[in-house]
Amino acid sequence: MNQYGPLSTCRYEVLGAVTGTTTGTTVTAGGGAGTKGSWVSFGTSAFAYEQISLMAVETSGTTQRGCIFDIGISDGTNTWVLAGDLYVNPYQAEMNFQLDLPLHVPSGSQLQVRYASSTASSTAKVLLRGCSVNVGGAPGFSKLSLLSVIASGVATAAAGGNNAKSRTQIVASSATPASALLFIYHHQGVTRSAVDLEYGAASSEAVILPRFAVYGGSSLTSMTQCVRSIVIPCAFPAGTRFSVNIANSAGSNSGYPVLYGFQ
């Protein structure tokens, strides 16, 4: 059985920190809405990672926006996407979030980040944190790919009536197999949602993740969390259909589910 080792066997490092302002490196979206900006270098990994975390703070503008991040590894000339199209659609205009990703990064890798926003020329402050050990000592995966579709934002999934469930398909047929899943859910409104992630043919769905609970706040001063993510250690073949079944405390309030697969 895998067990945690002593702290001396676990190493962390943070790339992109700006200590003078206690913030992160600025990453700028492309000039048009939904256009990814240029890759920004975050330095070189001092050791091999088995987990990498993306920490970002949306800093420009006062309106709600959709945000897409790519994490890449560069050889100085070309950049390969390690984790692509990491989507966050905060209900609040400015917010911070963290995504913990069990991905392997070789020692000496040049790490980069790029960014797109639903509003042109937006900026975000970004940090990357690497860890030499994954949970339980398992090795990190080699890549994270988007399974659901992001078009004009992301598929909106509405709840049923008050506290009643409503089902929405989010992946008709997955293009690639997945050794594990990353599920991100973006909640809107000062309400409570319970989200079931499911797989299988229509009318024969089986629950993977039951009652993923999310509560949303409506203002920048609210300390509630409206973007939540979870890594699910379940493998699925290519061609799998996925759906969400959502109940909400205030009727048909919508949310934004996004699904990824680790390879």
Per-residue pLDDT at 223 exceeds 50: no
Cβ–Cβ under 8 Å, residues 53 and 45: no
Closest by CA position to 42, among listed 101, 108, 113, 96: 113
Q: Which of residues 169 and 89 earns the better pLDDT score? A: 169
pLDDT mean over 229-234: 93
Closest CA to 146 of 106, 173, 104, 174: 174
Q: Which one of 2.60.40, 3.40.720, 2.60.120, 1.20.1530 gives the CATH number of domain 7-140?
A: 2.60.120
pLDDT of residue 162: 72
- pTM for the structure as a whole: 0.89
Q: For 73-91, write each residue's pLDDT tens digit.
A: 999 899 999 999 998 765 5
Q: Where are the domains of the chain?
A: 7-140, 146-262
| Mean pLDDT, rounded, for 20-44 | 89
Same fold? 7-140, 146-262: yes
Look up the CATH number of domain 146-262.
Answer: 2.60.120
- pLDDT band, very low/low/confident/very high, at 152 (cuts 50, 70, 90): very low
What would the two tokens of residue 245 be? 């079944």
CB atoms within 10 A of CB 93: 14
Structural tokens at position 112: 């980069």
Q: What is the pLDDT of residues 90-127, one digit of tens each?
A: 555 555 788 999 999 999 999 999 998 887 778 889 99
